[in-house]
């Protein structure tokens, strides 16, 4: 399997855990004291790191650190938007579209050497 595809898959799974660790407590633990949310979030974040670290190590063999960061940011927004709509019950905002377009620009500039090779 392609190393970049493995990286994207691992980063996507990692990002799902990250999003729940960072924002899930706002929905599911809002009645708990903050320290409970911290420890539960740390527990969830452990699984994020168990996926994220190997993803970046694999990805660094075929992409630069900057490219990996931009891939992660695109995945992060792609995971966060549905999470905020379906889990946090927030309305969809056109700002998500503008942010996504900005990230597409970032992808172009970080990968232009690979994209423009004919």
List pLDDT tens digits, range 33-89: 999 999 999 999 999 999 999 999 999 999 999 999 999 999 999 999 999 999 999
pLDDT attached to residue 1: 75
Q: Are 19 and 11 in contact (CB under 8 A)?
A: no
Distance CA 65, CA 110 (A): 10
pTM for the predicted model, two decimal places: 0.89
Residue numbers of the domain that contains 26: 3-116
pLDDT attached to residue 83: 97
Is pLDDT of 5 > 60?
yes
Give the whole-number percent of the chain exceeding pLDDT 90: 92
Q: How far is CA 72 from CA 13, 68, 79, 117, in A?
A: 11, 6, 10, 23
Give every CB contact of residue 49 below 8 A, 6+ residues apart in sequence: 14
Is pLDDT of 118 > 70?
no
Distance CA 39, CA 29 (A): 11
* Number of domains the chain contains: 1
């Amino acid at each position: 399997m392609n190393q970049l595809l493995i990286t994207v898959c691992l980063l996507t799974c990692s990002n799902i855990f990250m999003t729940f660790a960072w924002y899930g407590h706002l929905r599911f633990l809002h009645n708990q004291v903050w320290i409970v949310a911290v420890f539960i979030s740390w527990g969830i974040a452990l699984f994020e790191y168990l996926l994220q670290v190997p993803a970046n190590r694999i990805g660094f063999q075929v992409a630069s650190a900057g490219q990996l960061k931009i891939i992660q940011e695109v995945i992060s927004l792609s995971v966060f938007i549905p999470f905020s709509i379906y889990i946090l019950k927030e309305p969809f905002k056109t700002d998500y579209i503008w942010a996504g377009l900005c990230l597409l620009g970032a992808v172009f500039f970080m990968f232009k050497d690979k994209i423009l090779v004919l």
